[in-house]
Amino acid sequence: MKNIRPYFLPILFVLMTVSLSSCEVIGDIFKAGMWTAVIIIVIIVLIITWIFRKIRR
């Protein structure tokens, strides 16, 4: 398991970069409304924080 750790974050970032076009996603979120955007951003930050806590254990 320890051999996979150094490769996990770069692979995750490449996967996110390829699968999500940030400008398109942000534009669609703000079309839906400001409060929707705030809620989605908070949820994304919480998920990323949870993932980092799981990795560090």
Three-state SS annotation for the chain: CCCCHHHHHHHHHHHHHHHCCHHHHHHHHHHHCHHHHHHHHHHHHHHHHHHHHHHHC
Residues 6+ apart with CB under 8 A from 5: 55
Q: Residue 18 pLDDT > 70, yes or no?
A: no
pLDDT confidence bin for 10, thresholds 50/70/90: confident
Distance of alpha carbon 55 from alpha carbon 29, whole angstroms: 29
Q: Where are the domains of the chain?
A: 5-56
| pLDDT top residue among 50 and 6 | 50
**pLDDT tens, 27-52?**
776 777 878 778 888 999 999 999 98
